[in-house]
Structure 1
Amino acid sequence: MFKGKNVVITGGTRGIGRAIAERFNSLGAKVFVLYASSESQAKELESKGIVTIKCNVSKRDQVIEASKKVREITNNVDVIVNNAGVMYTMPFEEFDEEKYRRMMDINLNGTIYVIHTFLPFMKERGGVIVNIASNAGIGTSAVGTTFYAITKSAVIMLTRRLAFELGKYNIRVNAVAPGWVETDLTVSGKSPEETEKIKQWFRDRTVLHTTGRPEDIAGIVTFLSSDDAKYITGQVIVADGGRIDYLTHSL
């Protein structure tokens, strides 16, 4: 499906990002993964023919340097997937400015830096941008996610605005808003018992009574990036098992 296509994915060594990278790779794309850490996982991806570039997307100079390394291999990028993200949970009354700024720097600013820097690779022949947001950015009741939700709602608005601005270049811009997906990010530092308790909390709030897998999100991303979705732009695809705890609406 993606033979001859070049795909740039941020945060692609673990979790959802890795599943996306491996899915594109299996479908014939030339995949470039930008990552901030996880050296061993990066080497595993390289063994599969995926190009990995160390880059903290919250640092604009590093994103520019990463783009130069991509340019050494190709002048065209067909798909950009902004997956890099970080999440801290904290009640509003326990506001931690450092954690909030880090979420904003990576989740939102990193997305802006990557799109702005790699846009010249796409302008001549068009392309696709897929941003990984979160259903938190639409308004769920998950405790302690207010500040994380702010960053992801900003990603959703960025997605919609860029669909307007970049359509003239035949660039489609969409987002995926996952519900709870079991990854290193969501279970880090938790015991198996704590993880199971969290999973049950989310199961109880979905009509499918289940939680997500990274592969569930990867399939949506490749669909949005394919010609099967060539008439879709400015949309947010919510993949959360049918959450029923939204602030103003539910399934």
Structure 2
Amino acid sequence: MSFNGKVVVVTGGTKGIGRAISEKFKSLGANVIILYNSSDNIARELEEKGFLTIKCDVSKRSQVKKAAEIVAEKYDKVDVLVNNAGIWYLFSFEEFDEEKYEKMMKINLDGTIYVTYEFLPLIKKSKGVIINMASNAGLGTSAIGNTFYSITKAGIIILTRRLAYELGKYGIRVNAVAPGWVETDMTIGGKSAEEIEKLRQWFKDRTMLHTTGKPEYIANIVSFLASEDSTYITGQIIVADGGRIDYLTHGI
């Protein structure tokens, strides 16, 4: 599998799953552009390693449009777009927090829409690939408190299928990856070693493989979906959660 000379854009690519995806494509020879909205120090480190980083809040269409213009000035196409940027807040329906809900919607779902729309002219030039980061939460496999996050990811799943239908005429493939629980700063950051171990065990008990996810597992799937090895795959949601057992069987 080689991406020599290919142009890959990854949103939220400085940390966690996005960082693993960015590094995977870089190792395969791609020119990788990372859109990020925090972690300036990490972005500078990545610049020194040959990545192009652009500070961009994907929830603001004007910033996304500017980022697309910057990429267009340097490259005449985009071969792969990975819509990875996202945030997660945990609260039940009865604890509805409008500010957190709107922030998740703007970044997770609206951000995916804005980035795809503004970069589409460059993707059309290469008959490229779009890969969206969904979640098994968007398919209903999620504990209590994840209702509103699940809604944003369900929206990404529907968007993926609709884009595959609408953009297929251009030779563009659109798929999504729906990870289960993956160990990243977002899921274990700020927790004690004891809390992390309890969390790991909780998820191990609820997967068929009795293990937890690593960012590189997801990066491997993304690179496959972007490669010629998956030429006949579009409109699909690839679930990567270790065989998560539905939460209803545990009475959560």
In the superposition, the TM-score normalised over structure 1's length comes to 0.97
The aligned amino acid for 2:87 is V
C-alpha RMSD over aligned residues: 1.1
Query: Using the alignment, how far apart are the partners of 1:147 and 1:98 within structure 2?
Result: 12
Query: What's the CA shift for 1:61?
Result: 0.4
Map 1:14-93; keep pairs closer than 5 Å: 14-93=15-94
Query: Using the alignment, how far apart are the partners of 1:188 and 1:148 within structure 2?
Result: 18
2:200 is matched with 199
Query: What's the CA shift for 1:62?
Result: 0.4
Query: Using the alignment, how far apart are the partners of 1:95 and 1:199 within structure 2?
Result: 27
- Cα offsets for 1:46-72 (capped at 9, x unmatched): 121110000000000000111111112
Query: What's the CA shift for 1:153?
Result: 0.5
Query: Using the alignment, how far apart are the partners of 1:118 and 1:124 within structure 2?
Result: 10
Query: Using the alignment, how far apart are the partners of 2:144 and 2:202 within structure 1?
Result: 11
- Cα offsets for 1:96-137 (capped at 9, x unmatched): 000000000000000000000000002133000000100000
1:181 is matched with 182
Gap regions ≥5 residues in structure 1: none
Query: Using the alignment, how far apart are the partners of 1:166 and 1:138 within structure 2?
Result: 23
1:136 is matched with 137
- Cα offsets for 1:64-85 (capped at 9, x unmatched): 1111111121010000000000
The aligned amino acid for 1:34 is L
Query: Using the alignment, how far apart are the partners of 1:219 and 1:84 within structure 2?
Result: 18
1:221 is matched with 222
In the superposition, the TM-score normalised over structure 2's length comes to 0.96
Query: What's the CA shift for 1:141?
Result: 3.6
- Cα offsets for 1:201-233 (capped at 9, x unmatched): 111100100000000000000000000001000
User: Is the contact between residue 136 and residue 142 of structure 2 (CA under 8 Å) also seen in structure 1?
Assistant: no
Query: Using the alignment, how far apart are the partners of 1:186 and 1:232 within structure 2?
Result: 30
Gap regions ≥5 residues in structure 2: none
Query: What's the CA shift for 1:160?
Result: 0.3
Are 1:101 and 2:98 matched, yes or no? no
Query: Using the alignment, how far apart are the partners of 2:82 and 2:201 within structure 1?
Result: 30
**SS, match of residue 130 in structure 1:** strand
Query: Using the alignment, how far apart are the partners of 1:222 and 1:106 within structure 2?
Result: 23
Answer 1 or 2: which has greater helix percent.
Answer: 2
User: Is the contact between residue 178 and residue 240 of structure 1 (CA under 8 Å) also seen in structure 2?
Assistant: yes
- Cα offsets for 1:170-228 (capped at 9, x unmatched): 00000000000000111123222112111111111001000000000000000000000
**SS, match of residue 174 in structure 1:** strand
Q: Which runs of 4+ in 1 moved over 2 A?
A: none
Query: Using the alignment, how far apart are the partners of 1:165 and 1:246 within structure 2?
Result: 34
Query: Using the alignment, how far apart are the partners of 1:146 and 1:112 within structure 2?
Result: 21
Query: Using the alignment, how far apart are the partners of 2:63 and 2:226 within structure 1?
Result: 25
**SS, match of residue 155 in structure 2:** helix
**SS, match of residue 201 in structure 1:** helix
2:171 is matched with 170
Query: Using the alignment, how far apart are the partners of 1:69 and 1:93 within structure 2?
Result: 43
The aligned amino acid for 1:206 is T
